[in-house]
Structure 1
Amino acid sequence: MRYLSLTKKIDNASQGYVNSPIIFENNHRLDFVEVKNTDTKPKIKYRYHYMNEAQVMIFHYDNAPHHVEIATFPHHKHEVDDIKESLEPTLEQVLLEIAEKQRNLKP
């Protein structure tokens, strides 16, 4: 990891958000936002947007309610030319997926 800047805001005793850009050694980037209420398990809102060094999307997870045709609605994953079913990922799962993709890039 080359750069991390974490912003957090607490709205009240049980709700807040975190967001951050993470820039990796190869200049790939993950921008993420999580809005969470500690009284509920699922995140209220999330977005994990992973890009290459030219800031072209590699994948993107979110729960924006705009793909009603997906069985896991509102949760879904954008890939370059596709939208896929997806359960709500954790930040740890997204980072592990990125690590796997970066390992596959190395000669």
Structure 2
Amino acid sequence: MIEDYFEFLKKVAKKNPSVKNLRLVREFIGVNRGFIRFVIELRDDSELHVFEYVDSSLHKIDYSYHWQNKEKLLITRWDNAPHHSEFETFPHHLHEGDNIKPSDEPTFVEILKKIGERI
């Protein structure tokens, strides 16, 4: 189940017209948990660094979608690091430059769509 989900993530990325290249950094699939880390080069030369750590029911235990420009400067990062408990969406939030905002838990497909609309 985890393996199928990770294959789905890679397939969605490779088929997306905003994506130029996908580089798998690391993937681990255990009996009850797994994680994947990959970097996507986008058509405007920005990069999306993807990390998901999931359990066997595909619940995201931890995630980070870090989008940076070609100069390696942050554009937006969506994550669930357990800080910013003041947000009603805690632990989910996003970083845009120096601004941190509440955010619902995004899916990888939603992230690609949002980025595609901006590049």
TM range (shorter): 0.7 to 0.9
Picking from 87, 90, 97, the partner of 2:107 is 90
Match of 1:15 in 2: 33
Q: Secondary structure at the match of 2:101?
A: strand
Pairing of 1:26-65 with structure 2 (within 5 A):
26-39=44-57, 42-65=59-82
Amino acid at match of 2:84: H
Give the RMSD, CA atoms, in angstroms: 1.2
Unaligned stretches of 5+ in structure 1?
A: 103-107
Q: Structure 1 length normalisation: TM-score?
A: 0.87
- Structure 1 stretches of at least 4 aligned residues deviating more than 2 Å after TM superposition: none
Shift of residue 38 of structure 1? Answer: 2.1
Unmatched segments (≥5 aa) in structure 2: 1-18
User: TM-score if structure 2 supplies the norm length?
Assistant: 0.78
Amino acid at match of 1:79: E
1:75 matches 2:92 = yes
**Structure 1 residue 100 and structure 2 residue 89: aligned?**
no
Q: Which has the higher helix share?
A: 2
